[in-house]
Amino acid sequence: MAAPLLEQLSESLGSPEPAIRLILSILIGYPFAVVYRWFLFYQTPTVIHLFHTFSGLALAAFNFAGSQLYHSVVCVLIQFLMLRLMGRTVTAILSSFTFQMLYLLAGYYYTATEEYDIKWTMPHCVLTLKLIGLAFDYYDGGKEPSKLSAEQKASALRSVPSLLEVCGFSYFYGGFLVGPQFTLRSYQRLVARELTDCPGKVPNSVVPAMKRFALGFLCLVIYAIFSPHYPDSYYLTDEYEAQPFWYRCVFILLWGKIILYKYVSCWVIAEGVCILTGLGYNGVVDGKHQWDACANMKVWLFETTPLFGGTIASFNINTNAWAARHVFKRLKFLGNKTLSHVATLFFLSIWHGLHSGYILCFSMEFFIITVERQAQALVKDSPVLTKLANSPLYPLIYVVQQFIHWLFMGYPLVAFCIFSYDKWLKVYSSVYFCGHLFFLAAYLIMPYLRKALVPKKEGREKKQE
């Protein structure tokens, strides 16, 4: 009965059935959260873990029927056994990292197609980070607190978790399908009724949860209305190649803006589920209760920043924080921040998939951010540019910045979304590799601009720093 209804809904909305199932599954998290608040909040941890485990498995079965269901179960069980048998050792971390990543990459390899498909590897990439992070947090729990950073202290596990606890954490309906990332320690605090603005009582989180739901739903509506006018497939048509150069560039700009609402809407709606349960509670700041512990998007920053760094800081926050905590900062022994940054971006690229487009996208991100930081330093050190940036002309400068920003945000996203080599090469060729050339030219010219616009005194001080 459900299948024909889903087919009809898919046809009427013009969206693939797997996408409809995914959105419905994220929305079903709200009724699950209500059940938890009304009937299970004061129950024993065992009952709560069972509820979270079976509700998450039900969502998995709804989206990925048949043999696809066992992949997550296998990885959760093996991760639990590694914690128990290997203990708090570097071997356990390396084994967890290697096994979980190889399992995910094998999944990508054997299920790869020419299009982006919603299949079991989509939630599994979220689970992979959870389970690797679990190994790190268990390892940190065996260290002296004085040797841990504030982040590590907050997430360190002082005792070995039970299998049921790991399952509840892994399948929690608020983050199983699309995230956000959160630690087992946060999940334990949720079950212990610690994540609430009223100690020991159901959190007053309905209003903040509904605000995120409304914002996420608005983003979903925007995507549903405009995405049919900006399909990925248009890039590969003769009609696109026949358009003037300026039109092709503007299409990339608008497409890049619209395509991201797909991710924004899912993350913000899922965040609302986490807030409703209490998992989103983040303490008190300036006398106000905060509910942003599971925020994966800073929507206002995303919409208003004219900087590439600002967009990155506003987007997929918890995954970026996970990568910073468990990859970038743990590569401190390399003694080189740039090398650690490159290694982290490489990890994120293969975590997304094996297609060349992912590596190209993240390598461009590194290059663009490098050039932007140089440009920001130039503006800061140059009295002329600083004065111009603070002049009445700034609104005009802001508009130009936003145009450049969104044009070249969409540009690397082409490789990310149209990930096959022959496809993204065709698109970039049609716009004469303008993004590559723009930032290469900016990188090469920056030293000369610094020499011309920065007074010698400031220039010498900069070199000494």
Please give the positions annotated as active site. 316, 352
By residue count, the chain amounts to 465
C-alpha pair distances (Å), 398 with each of 85, 119, 221, 373, 418: 57, 41, 27, 17, 30
Quote the crossing angle between the two packed helices 90-111 and 70-86, to the nearest 10°.
170
Element at 221 (helix H, strand E):
helix 206-226
C-alpha pair distances (Å), 345 with each of 64, 372, 374, 436: 29, 17, 19, 18
Output the CA angle 106-109-113, nearest 5 degrees: 150
Q: Are 174 and 270 in contact (CB under 8 A)?
A: yes
CA 218 vs. chain centroid, Å, equals 19
Quote the crossing angle between the two packed helices 245-277 and 394-417, to the nearest 10°.
80
Which backbone phi and psi does 285 adopt, to 5 degrees?
A: -130, 125
Copy the structure tokens of residue 439.
């930032």
Q: Are 292 and 283 in contact (CB under 8 A)?
A: no
Sign of CA dihedral 448, 450, 453, 457: negative
Quote the crossing angle between the two packed helices 206-226 and 17-35, to the nearest 10°.
170
CA 59 vs. chain centroid, Å, equals 21
Q: Write down the residue that tokens 């990508």 correspond to.
A: 108
DSSP state of 316: S
H runs (alpha helix) in 149-244: 150-155, 163-171, 184-191, 206-226, 238-242
Q: How far apart are alpha carbons 188 and 49 in whole angstroms?
A: 10
Q: How far apart are alpha carbons 315 and 303 in whole angstroms?
A: 11
Q: Are 17 and 7 in contact (CB under 8 A)?
A: yes
